[in-house]
């Protein structure tokens, strides 16, 4: 049996990672696990808001996210995982999965003006988002962000207008089975 792949889709908030991850999930017929969507499900279950959540909630979601990824991988199911993976927080967990899956990383980028515009539009167009994510207090757009840096195939995708490289090139990158 072929080793499953783990495609990491990451980038700053509002960089287009969720949009791209959902599109890729449909294009390559592969399940998607979104850290934000897990958090939203948990917030709905315990009936609190982001503002009411303490550090234990963030830790619970972090642990659950990786437990779910590992479950898929150990069951031989390739998966797309989407989150704002930061090197210092997420790399060790991903390294633990590297022997179990062929990992590839896509880093979504765009210029700061586009990030800010998307971020503001997201808040205006989805008033419930604040309940789940506390976006008004976030500063990851202009703050420190260092994407996961691993010795695995990595593709930077500019999401400013459409995708650069284009969607077919991104899919070709994913489908290359060798993990070099």
Kindly report, residue by residue over 133-142, the tens digit of the pLDDT: 656 555 545 5
Q: Does the residue 180 lie in any domain?
A: no
Q: Is 173 exposed, middle or buried (0-12, 13-18, 19+ CB in 10 A)?
A: middle
Q: If you average pLDDT over residues 64-75, what whole number do you get?
A: 96
Q: Does the residue 71 lie in any domain?
A: yes
- Among the ranges 4-13, 37-46, 134-143, which has the highest mean pLDDT value? 4-13
Question: Residue with structure tokens 């490289």?
Answer: 165
**In terms of Cα–Cα distance, which of 31, 87, 39, 86 is closest to 63?**
39
With a cut of 80, say whether residue 60 has pLDDT above it. Answer: yes
Which pLDDT value is given to residue 138? 57
Domain extent, residue 58, equals 5-175
Instruction: Please tell me the total count of domains within the chain.
Output: 1
With a cut of 90, say whether residue 52 has pLDDT above it. Answer: no
Token reading at 29: 């017929």
Which value, in Å, is the radius of gyration of the alpha carbons in the chain? 16
Token reading at 3: 């080793």
85: pLDDT confidence band, cut at 50, 70 and 90?
Answer: confident
**In terms of Cα–Cα distance, which of 69, 65, 66, 88 is closest to 78?**
69
**At 47, which CATH number?**
3.40.50.300
């Amino acid at each position: 049996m072929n080793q499953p792949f783990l495609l990491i889709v990451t980038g700053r908030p509002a960089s287009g990672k969720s949009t791209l991850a959902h599109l890729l999930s449909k294009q390559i017929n592969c399940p998607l696990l979104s850290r934000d969507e897990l958090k939203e499900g948990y917030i709905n279950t315990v009936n609190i808001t982001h503002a009411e959540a303490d550090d234990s909630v963030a830790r619970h979601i972090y642990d659950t996210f990786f437990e779910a990824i590992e479950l898929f991988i150990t069951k031989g199911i390739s998966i797309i995982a989407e989150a704002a993976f930061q090197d210092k927080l997420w790399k060790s967990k991903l390294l633990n999965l590297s022997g179990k899956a062929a990992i590839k990383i896509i880093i979504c980028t765009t210029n700061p003006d586009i990030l800010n515009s998307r971020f503001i539009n997201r808040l205006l167009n989805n008033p419930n988002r604040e309940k789940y994510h506390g976006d008004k207090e976030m500063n990851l757009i202009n703050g420190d962000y260092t994407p996961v840096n691993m010795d695995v195939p990595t593709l930077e995708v500019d999401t400013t207008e459409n995708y650069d490289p284009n969607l077919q090139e991104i899919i070709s990158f994913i489908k290359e089975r060798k993990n070099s």
